[in-house]
Amino acid sequence: MIVDPAAAPVTPPTTVTSPEGWLTAVIDEPWAGVYLAVDYTAGPAPLGTAADVRKVLISRQGDAAAPVAVRSGDLAWAIEGIGQAYDHEAPLGVAVAYTARPLYADGTWGPTTSLALVVPAPAPQQVRDLWIKSIDEPSLSMRVMLGPAQGTTSEGRQDTAALTGTPYMAVAYDTAAAAAEPVSVDVLAPDIERFRELIRSGVLLAQVRPGYQTPDRFFVPGDVGETPTGRLGSTGGYTLTFDIAPIERPDTGGQPMIAPSWSYDRLAADFASYDAVAASYASYLALATNGAA
């Protein structure tokens, strides 16, 4: 292979469509998420049974892990073959594959369609290198600057008992707890109120760039410490401390589509009438994804 050092780096596409044209993914880079749209009536070879489709299962697979369902795609409504989902949990900076499979009105499944993409991770020169995402309120999600690493601790789960006539102990053990980590983050003063709301918004997802060799972790913060970084009552920001103690990924079944900064409330605030909405979006799919698809 011949490499030209002067060649510009390849920029991955932000919109990817499956070969059949049935599944489209649009990277939502400001929020590190992905809009996913299915349209079985589109593409060079529309699905002949599209009118019988009622729902669609959309799953994601990254690295060598087993496929997992996208939160709002398990299952997503796709009446007559058109539907959408949003993935706010895709791994950052690594290739992932999305697969969609339609469910017909009679309970049978249709053919699968797939595509692959990379959701960009924070670049090495960017100091705000930690994404903290809210599962229930994604519009609160934000990037913050991660402080120095403090190490992790995996709690052992053991019961021991002394045995008569032997210097050894009897031990009963179970799978060790996931590695927990105390972290500190720096938040600018204009962002602190939003961060305070984010950190208490329920289940969160912590993500960093792949080079940190730290897996994505779901967690619910416990105690949160907060210290102003300025002097004499003025501050340029705050340092906050809390523990990331991983929990299992929350169940995805039947979850509605929730996209950052896009909701019926936002729609009502941006448009004076339904006619104005209809004039701005060519289809319901475009409306549901805020023009992304």
pLDDT at 1 over 60: no
- Amino acid type, 64: A
Q: Does domain 130-244 fall into CATH 3.40.50?
A: no
Q: Are 68 and 57 in contact (CB under 8 A)?
A: no
Q: What tokens does 76 get?
A: 């997503």
Label residue 191 left, alpha or beta by phi (over 0 means left) and psi (-120 to 50 means alpha): alpha
Q: Do domains 15-120 and 130-244 have the same CATH topology?
A: no
Provide the CATH number for the domain formed by 15-120 in this structure. 2.60.40.10
pLDDT at 283 over 90: no
Phi, psi of 159 (to 5 degrees): -125, 130
pLDDT tens figures, 176-191: 889 899 999 999 999 9
Query: For residue 106, what is the DSSP state?
Result: T
pLDDT tens figures, 241-276: 999 999 999 999 999 888 897 776 777 788 888 788
What pLDDT does 233 receive? 55
The pTM is what? 0.87
Q: Where are the domains of the chain?
A: 15-120, 130-244
Q: Are 104 and 61 in contact (CB under 8 A)?
A: no
Whether the upstream peptide bond of residue 75 has omega within 30° of 0, thus cis, is yes
- Identify the residue whose tokens are 């760039």: 209
The mean pLDDT value of the chain amounts to: 90
